[in-house]
A and B are shown apart, each in its own frame.
Chain A
Amino acid sequence: AQTVTQSQPEMSVQEAETVTLSCTYDTSESNYYLFWYKQPPSRQMILVIRQEAYKQQNATENRFSVNFQKAAKSFSLKISDSQLGDTAMYFCAFMKISNFGNEKLTFGTGTRLTIIP
């Protein structure tokens, strides 16, 4: 079974600053995906960024980037030039890859991020 750990229940940062959210996971799988999801107050889950485990290059999406350390099983999210709209719960998630097409997501406990004006 896979586990995902987010050790920071809450974080806050000044607007325009950079913040890094931590995530570690445990798995015996070799092929998998890692995701960061954002859940704003509306509670709509929004995909922020994804990383394929077989790729060594860290994924980036505009102001969002990850530091993927496969050997250490670490997958942190960096948000640059933070904006008020980034205020949300952030969940790290793991999904193994299989041929069946019904793989499930395993979520971490979340980090509540507050951007301070």
Chain B
Amino acid sequence: GAVVSQHPSRVICKSGTSVKIECRSLDFQATTMFWYRQFPKQSLMLMATSNEGSKATYEQGVEKDKFLINHASLTLSTLTVTSAHPEDSSFYICSAKIPAGDEQYFGPGTRLTVT
């Protein structure tokens, strides 16, 4: 149980375009999902906390107009990187949390390359 999927696993896009990454909890309902960014050989950096039915809470320094997060249902959150630039190239990881639970379940990640 407690499986989280991400789609796509890899994506290449051209500079200036937008790309959407999906995060799904497959066998549980997640009121809270988290989006992380990880640069090579570095730790996970929390970008935002996504609560179902409400606006996401962004960490300091993360542009909310560039990284659009939507959590429209209890099993799906999306991250849209708008007007992507090469410096947005990174590994993006989501996690989901069971209501009243204390463990986060991680997706397998999405590698974004902006050319």
Main secondary structure of the interface of B (DSSP, over half): strand
B44–A44 touching, CB < 8 Å: no
- Sort chain B's interface into a size bin: 20 to 34
Main secondary structure of the interface of A (DSSP, over half): loop
B46–A44 touching, CB < 8 Å: no
A34 and B70 alpha carbons, distance in the complex (Å) = 29
B102–A107 touching, CB < 8 Å: no
Considering the complex, which residues of chain B in the window 15-66 have a beta carbon less than 8 Å from any beta carbon of chain A?
A: 31-32, 34, 38, 41-44, 46, 49, 51, 57
List chain A positions with a Cβ less than 8 A from chain B: 33, 42-47, 50, 91, 95, 97, 101-110, 112
List chain B positions with a Cβ less than 8 A from chain A: 31-32, 34, 38, 41-44, 46, 49, 51, 57, 91, 93, 95, 97, 99-104, 106, 108-109
22 contacts between A and B (CB under 8 A): A33-B102, A43-B38, A43-B109, A44-B108, A44-B109, A47-B103, A97-B102, A101-B97, A101-B99, A101-B100, A101-B101, A102-B32, A102-B49, A103-B102, A104-B46, A105-B44, A105-B46, A105-B95, A109-B42, A109-B43, A110-B43, A112-B41
Q: Closest 3 CB pairs between A and B?
A: A45-B106, A102-B32, A107-B43
